[in-house]
Amino acid sequence: MKKINLEQKFSLFDETWTPKIIAESNGQLVKIAKGQGELVWHSHNNEDELFIVFKGQLTLKFRDGDVTLGPGELYVVPKGVEHCPFAEEETHFLMVEPASTAHTGSIKSDATVDISDQNWI
Amino acid sequence: MKKINLEQKFSLFDETWTPKIIAESNGQLVKIAKGQGELVWHSHNNEDELFIVFKGQLTLKFRDGDVTLGPGELYVVPKGVEHCPFAEEETHFLMVEPASTAHTGSIKSDATVDISDQNWI
């Protein structure tokens, strides 16, 4: 395996809320995504979701309050907890989650990316 | 859970090669460590080990060559692959690995931290 440079990987795409897979470790996928605007309220019944922000501000809306992450900040959304990612300006973040994790859980919206389309870059 | 600020967490300790646990996600632990000098050659029979560097330069020595990671670079050391971490200057990095991962695999050195001593911060 060659080392992975996140800035170089982020330069390869422009779409928002469209996770790209960059590595696999212990059955979990390391994904990066850009965010701007709002995704959709959803939860993952069986998977925790680790977020680390590298650029911008990622707000994770929860039913009982929001958490806003800047560069160098991380958060784990526990399985089953409803959340809605939001970013006012273009935001770059990394996720680590099991390969089974559906993009927007059981919710299907226009923004939903089919898990089989989450391409490696 | 409150959000985690990596810089704040790194400010809490000075020891090198002494991973501190900052989060758990899907049975894997998110750990941070500082490195300077060399740890010890070892491998983990059953666990891949994800490294992300935030400050400095982390060299992962392998039997067939080295990989040096700077800030914003990541690497997955596959299970069973011998490696020896090295950093010339103080380096800050994050790891994601299963809770079962022993610090230096089956190798015990003066630098080895018992897995039960890998405290949460």
Average pLDDT of every residue of chain A: 95
Q: B42-84, pLDDT tens digit by residue?
A: 999 999 999 999 999 999 999 999 999 999 999 999 999 999 9
In a shared domain, residues A29 and A51:
no
Distance between CA B103 and CA B29 in Å, rounded?
12
Domain ranges, residue A8: 1-35
Q: Are residues A23 and A46 in the same domain?
A: no
User: Is the domain of A25 the same as that of A51?
Assistant: no
Residues A46 and A27 in one domain: no
Match 């400095």 to its residue by tokens: B56
In a domain, A72, yes or no: yes
The answer to whether residue A10 scores a pLDDT higher than 90 is yes
The total number of structural domains that make up chain A: 2
**B108 found inside a domain:** yes
Q: What residues of B are in contact with residue A51 (Cβ under 8 Å)?
A: none
Selected residue of B26, B57, B101 to mutate for chain A interface (largest A Cβ count, 10 A): B26
Whole-angstrom distance, CA of residue A19 vs CA of residue A15: 9
Q: How far apart are CA A45 and CA A8, in angstroms?
A: 33
Q: Is the CB of A64 inside 8 Å of chain B's CB atoms?
A: no
pLDDT at A118 over 70: no
Q: Rounded to two decimals, what is the model's pTM?
A: 0.95
Question: SS3 for A3-64, per residue?
Answer: CEEHHHHHCCCCCECCCEEEEEECCEEEEEEEEEEECCCECCCCCCEEEEEEECCEEEEECC
CA distances from A2 to A33, B63, B73 (A): 20, 15, 11
Instruction: Out of B3, B26, B73, name the one closest to residue A47 (CB).
Output: B26
Put simply, whether A7 touches B (Cβ < 8 Å) is yes
| B95 touching A (Cβ < 8 Å) | no
> In this structure, is residue A23 part of a structural domain?
yes
In a domain, B45, yes or no: yes
* DSSP label of A95: E
In three-state form (DSSP H/G/I as H, E/B as E, the rest C), the secondary structure along chain B is CCCEEHHHHHCCCCCECCCEEEEEECCEEEEEEEEEEECCCECCCCCCEEEEEEECCEEEEECCEEEEECCCEEEEECCCCCEEEEEEEEEEEEEEEECCCCCCCCCCCCCCCCHHHCCEC
Is residue A117 domain-resident?
A: no
- Rounded CA-CA distance A75/A119 in Å is 24
- Looking at the fold, whether A51 and A68 belong to one and the same domain comes out as yes
B51 domain-assigned:
yes
Categorize the per-residue pLDDT at B118 as very low, low, confident or very high, splitting at 50, 70 and 90.
Answer: low
**Interval A58-111: pLDDT, tens:** 999 999 999 999 999 999 999 999 999 999 999 999 999 999 888 888 888 888
Minimum CA–CA partner of A72 in chain B: B6
Alpha-carbon torsion, ordered A92, A111, A115, B100, to 10 deg: 40
CA distance B31 to A64: 28
**CB B85, CB B56: distance < 8 Å:** no
Amino acid at B83: H
What is the ipTM, given to two decimal places?
A: 0.94
Is the pLDDT reported for residue B110 higher than 90? Answer: no
In a domain, A106, yes or no: no
CATH of residue B53's domain is 2.60.120.10
B26 with A97: Cβ contact below 8 A: yes
Q: Does B90 touch chain A (CB under 8 A)?
A: no
A4 in reach of chain B (CB within 8 A): yes
If asked whether residues A46 and A30 sit together in one domain, one would say no
Q: How far is B112 from chain A (nearest CA, A)?
A: 23
> Does residue B1 lie in a domain region?
no
